[in-house]
Amino acid sequence: MSETATLAGGCFWCLEAVYQSVRGVEKSVSGYMGGDVDNPTYEQVCSGRTGHAEVVQLTFDPAVISYEQLLEIFFEIHDPTTLNRQGNDVGTQYRSAIFYHTEEQRGIALRAMASLQLSDPVVTEVSPASAFWPAEAYHQDYFRNHQDQPYCAYVIAPKLAKYRKLKHET
């Protein structure tokens, strides 16, 4: 039976591109979570006034990949020590966050964060999942559809290469 994970680690295009290549991830949808506006638009979220984070919502098969393994990948492909920022993407919508769907996921997230061996404090937010709003259609499968776009070539492709080097790819 499938489970759901929702993660925020900067631009959702980056997370989506990596998780789409993970064996056991059945579906990866870019969207918004953690804010107080119903059905927000990309422009509203980018304004920083809705409280939403750019997230990727994953449907995964826990018999193939565990929630713990999804979080290992999460912490490998973004910097959980920078507040409201990943690279040149700055704002609360780019914060590092784990939106848990069960108390078990919450516990796993807290243990994963406690076990990180980083020189700077981890600022990843751990919050209960709230309403998930899928991003507009043009944000879905963004890397697959725009690999030659500069952001994809200079930001997403290196994250995907790092992931592949760590041998998590199918």
11 three-class SS: coil
Q: Which of 11, 14, 46, 152 is catalytic?
A: 11
11 in active site: yes
Tokens of 152: 């994809």
Contacts of 111 (CB under 8 A, 6+ apart): none
Angle at 131 between CA 143 and CA 169, to 5 degrees: 35
139 three-class SS: helix
Catalytic residues: 11
